[in-house]
């Protein structure tokens, strides 16, 4: 018997095969493990120095960034923890202390 991967949503180990997909009986999530691997490979985000970023990394802002609607800007040297990579022009979603949820461009950060 082959070992099936755990559910990506609830981490249950009771996954089973359902036609060409995998399914979780606990949360009802269905997924194709082959599409997931291809999807992760397609999104490659690099920082200002060319280092590849991943979800959960910490980065440092390399220049002062003005924020629309705020009286102050994000200062160079501000450390941002636990980033999340997304598609689009502003390809980093994060939470910055004092500002809240933000989207940043990867060209203005470096990997910490």
Question: Which CATH number is 56's domain given?
Answer: 2.30.30.40
In this structure, the answer to whether residues 60 and 95 fall within a common structural domain is yes
Number of helical (H) and strand (E) elements in the chain, helices listed first? 1, 11
CA dihedral 51, 53, 59, 63 (to 10 degrees): 60
In this structure, the answer to whether residues 51 and 105 fall within a common structural domain is yes
Contact 5, 22 (CB under 8 A): yes
- Read off the pLDDT of residues 84-106 as tens digits, 9 standing for 90 and up: 999 889 999 999 998 999 999 99
In this structure, the answer to whether residues 101 and 52 fall within a common structural domain is yes
- Read off the pLDDT of residues 25-58 as tens digits, 9 standing for 90 and up: 988 888 887 775 545 455 789 999 999 999 999 9
**pTM higher than 0.85, yes or no?**
no
């Amino acid at each position: 018997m082959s070992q099936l991967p755990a559910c990506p949503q609830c981490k249950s180990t009771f996954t089973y095969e359902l036609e060409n997909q995998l399914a979780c009986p606990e949360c009802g999530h269905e997924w194709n493990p082959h599409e997931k691997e291809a999807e992760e490979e397609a999104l490659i985000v690099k920082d200002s120095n060319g280092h590849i970023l991943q979800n959960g990394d910490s980065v440092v802002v390399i220049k002062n960034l003005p924020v629309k609607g705020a009286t102050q800007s994000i200062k160079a040297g501000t450390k941002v923890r636990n980033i999340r990579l997304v598609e689009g022009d502003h390809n980093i979603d994060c939470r910055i202390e004092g500002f809240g949820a933000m989207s940043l461009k990867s060209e203005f950060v470096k990997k910490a």
